[in-house]
């Protein structure tokens, strides 16, 4: 982008080119792991306000840390609410993920809260986002990546209409909540079929399909199926997996 907007959303650019934008989640509530994940080369880092332990101040510091690490800061909102979405964008997120979107009306509300007029109704009051420069307001609608989460049977049934909503750039499917809703495990054929319905709806309307994958195998599987907005894991998960692997290798010393 030309002008004084000092950060280009490179993750969004990759998805617009049909390439995978690989992300990682951060929920521990402190900025340092966010900067570490960003510096590892992930295209985007998610500051998870739904299932993480962030408060308003720490999430703003985390967005700064992600930028310092060379990645794109993305926030998951606690709920689909105008003030919640606006304050995360004000604090510096360049992407927003809105959970539990089941209907067209809910998707329209998420888009309205995320975009400045005339595309939406976001209020002009950037705080941490002011670092992006004087052209922030004019450029934000192009730079922002607005995703919703389809996580229920109802959402999948409405996927085609939901993904047609203007102002929504993509979907980041929640596989665990979807499994609970449809009554089939994540490794079932029925679950895979539901995910494919999301992917097809996104592709039909020129939106980026995505998923919280959680393992190398799942990332590879869903990238091959057409997903471009994919998270590979999280700070909590990486600590757990690394710790368990090392303990397994060393536990003989306790015999």
Domain spans, the chain: 10-254
Angle between helices 189-204 and 175-182 (to 10 degrees): 120
Burial of 252 (0-12, 13-18, 19+ CB in 10 A): exposed
Concerning whether 51 is annotated as a catalytic residue, the answer is yes
pLDDT at 254: 93
Bridge partners for 19 per DSSP: none
Any long-range contacts for 154-162 (C-beta under 8 Å, 24+ apart)? 154/102, 154/103, 154/181, 155/101, 155/102, 156/182, 156/194, 156/197, 156/198, 158/102, 158/103, 158/104, 159/197, 159/198, 159/201, 160/201, 160/204, 160/205, 161/104, 162/101, 162/103, 162/104, 162/107, 162/201
C-alpha distance from residue 163 to each of 160, 203, 209 (Å): 6, 9, 10
As given in the structure block, the two tokens for residue 124 are 């002009």
Full-model pTM:
0.94
pLDDT at 131: 73
pLDDT beneath 70, residues of the chain: 1-6, 126-130
In whole angstroms, give the CA distance from residue 111 to residue 165. Answer: 8
Residue 171 dihedral angles phi and psi, to the nearest 5°: -130, 140
pLDDT at 137: 84
- Smallest Cα–Cα separation from 99: which of 184, 197, 8, 25? 25
The yes or no reply on domain 10-254 and CATH 3.20.20.60 is yes
The one catalytic residue among 51, 191, 205, 252: 51
C-alpha distance from residue 115 to each of 111, 154, 194, 230 (Å): 6, 26, 29, 23
pLDDT at 129: 67
């Amino acid at each position: 982008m030309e002008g004084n907007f000092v950060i280009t959303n490179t993750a969004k650019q990759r998805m617009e080119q049909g390439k995978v934008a690989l992300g990682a989640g951060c929920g521990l509530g402190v900025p340092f792991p966010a900067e570490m994940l960003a510096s590892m080369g992930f295209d985007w880092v998610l500051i998870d306000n739904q299932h993480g332990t962030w408060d308003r101040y720490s999430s703003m510091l985390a967005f700064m840390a992600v930028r310092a690490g060379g990645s794109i800061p993305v926030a998951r909102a606690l709920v689909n609410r105008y003030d919640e979405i606006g304050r995360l964008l004000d604090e510096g997120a360049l992407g927003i993920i809105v959970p539990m979107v089941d209907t067209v009306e809910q998707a329209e509300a998420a888009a309205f809260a995320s975009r400045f007029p005339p595309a939406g109704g976001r209020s002009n009051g950037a705080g941490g986002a002011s670092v992006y420069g004087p052209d922030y307001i004019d450029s934000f609608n192009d730079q922002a990546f607005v995703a919703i989460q389809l996580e229920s049977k109802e959402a999948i049934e409405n996927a085609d209409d939901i993904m047609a909503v203007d102002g929504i750039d993509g979907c980041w499917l929640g596989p665990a909540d979807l499994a609970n809703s449809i009554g089939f495990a994540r490794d079932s054929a029925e679950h895979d079929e539901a995910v494919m319905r999301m992917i097809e709806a996104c592709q039909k309307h020129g939106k980026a399909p995505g998923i919280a994958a959680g393992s190398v195998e799942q990332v590879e599987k869903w990238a091959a199926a057409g997903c471009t907005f994919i998270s590979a894991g999280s700070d909590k998960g990486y600590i757990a997996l690394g710790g368990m692997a090392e303990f397994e290798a060393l536990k003989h010393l306790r015999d």
